[in-house]
Structure 1
């Protein structure tokens, strides 16, 4: 449990591929102006992290909602629901199918009407990308969530930080922010999608310029300098220029 702001905490979890490589996962906790809480994403906590969260949230009873923002991050949704069964459970359209037996709200996270219910948060869905693709391995699109009070951004996969695992992380530096390597497969197969994505990224670089931390799934929390968010997001966009140009050449 890592407290990044008076009203924002981030939890780092374990997610193993083929029971060999632990790529990690995350969940964040936001204290609302009412004193109650919101969970961003789902993870099955245990040990000291679980004890700390339960102590802070009156045994989970003070959690108003669990907001899942990546359509392919569904493995721990059941565990989070059991942690706070009274909390409203939000997800993308795909979450209602994975797993369908949970009491999902009818409103989906990518809907502006749903997002407007949470005054403590902002939301952004990448323009020009399919939130869900036919290829389950393509995780380039998610709903990005900044905490308005602190400027901290919670993001799954869309923007990534490459970090060494375990003890190596203490000696090897993190990467700067980068867009997901399967961006090309998430771009919508139509004219203008590449330009819409680039415009969205530039707007985000400017609009969230004061971001002090980025909580990135599968890797790390990245601390940014005064202009770090703008600089690193713009560099991440520069890194994918060839991808966007190839899409324009193919689709117009």
Structure 2
């Protein structure tokens, strides 16, 4: 499938401070949170806030709030009264939802099937696996689930954190994506030792093992799905849970990533055809990025 590449502005890098709201574009705020592995390596977490055309707010993912961030959100949303909904778009980003629900219990909460199974103390209003739920906030916000990957019950839970719902906000031309795509922004010393490079963009390492379904068609289903996303959503910015935000130039970076991954798609398809799956190329460290059980956010 061919890609129609649009002209995009040059890449720019901007490091965002933690626990502080940033306005990335019209009606789109973003905040970075700490998420430390082994209490030392901060791979970060994220939350985005969109003001809908009706004036209400949609929260995308949650992080642990300090007092300053709580006050900023209160000021923005009239103490939470104007939060229409809170959505969890990654099956394994669950840890901060209970505390966020305690802070803002009046909002409607929507999550992945795993959110609904795991966090039974939250009265979930709907499941993002339901297309009618994902369409509730269109045209302000569009959501899509990657093809070729398991969304309802990703296995093994300890390492298969590839899948997430992609969320696009057209007014700010911003894409919010959790682990499926990772962007490294000014990594610290320990992350550099692990091979992370400043400005690097990559798919989650699980793409090489269990991230995609082990069928001949799955790699191409995912590739073609992402081609459609690129053609339909002219995003400039990309907010990635781990480990940064790409402000400007994200579109061309994803186009390049997809083209560079084509040999891997071909290899995986052939391996799956022979009912053999090569796990020798997995990252040495991605299995250790969970902080509490199988949760990575």
- Report the TM-score when normalising by structure 1: 0.90
The worse-fitting range, judged by mean Cα deviation, of 24-33 and 210-219 is 210-219
1:155 and 2:181 are equivalent in the alignment:
no
CA contact (8 A) 1:201 1:234 kept: no
Distance 2:54 2:67 in 1: 28
Of the two structures, which has the highest relative contact order with CA contacts closer than 8 Å and spacing of 6 or more? 2
Distance 2:200 2:37 in 1: 24
Counterpart residue number, 1:116: 135
> SS of 2:23's equivalent?
strand
Counterpart residue number, 1:96: 116
Distance 1:212 1:34 in 2: 24
Distance 1:116 1:224 in 2: 26
The worse-fitting range, judged by mean Cα deviation, of 114-123 and 68-77 is 114-123
The worse-fitting range, judged by mean Cα deviation, of 241-250 and 196-205 is 241-250
1:197 and 2:222 are equivalent in the alignment:
yes
- Report the TM-score when normalising by structure 2: 0.77
1:181 and 2:205 are equivalent in the alignment:
yes
1:28 and 2:52 are equivalent in the alignment:
no
Counterpart residue number, 2:288: none
The worse-fitting range, judged by mean Cα deviation, of 83-92 and 181-190 is 181-190
Aligned-CA RMSD value: 2.1
> SS of 1:122's equivalent?
strand
| 1:148-199 Cα deviation digits (max 9, x unpaired) | 2222111101111012346999xx9742432112112211122311111111
1:7 and 2:27 are equivalent in the alignment:
yes
Distance 2:124 2:225 in 1: 29
1:41 and 2:61 are equivalent in the alignment:
yes
> SS of 2:142's equivalent?
coil
1:219 and 2:243 are equivalent in the alignment:
yes
Unaligned runs of 5+ in 1: none
| 1:116-152 Cα deviation digits (max 9, x unpaired) | 1112210111111112421122211100001122221
Distance 1:35 1:174 in 2: 37
Which one of the candidate residues 59, 73, 76 is aligned to 1:53?
73
CA contact (8 A) 1:176 1:232 kept: no
- Give 1:27 deviation, angstroms: 0.4
Provide the aligned length of Structure 1 versus Structure 2: 245
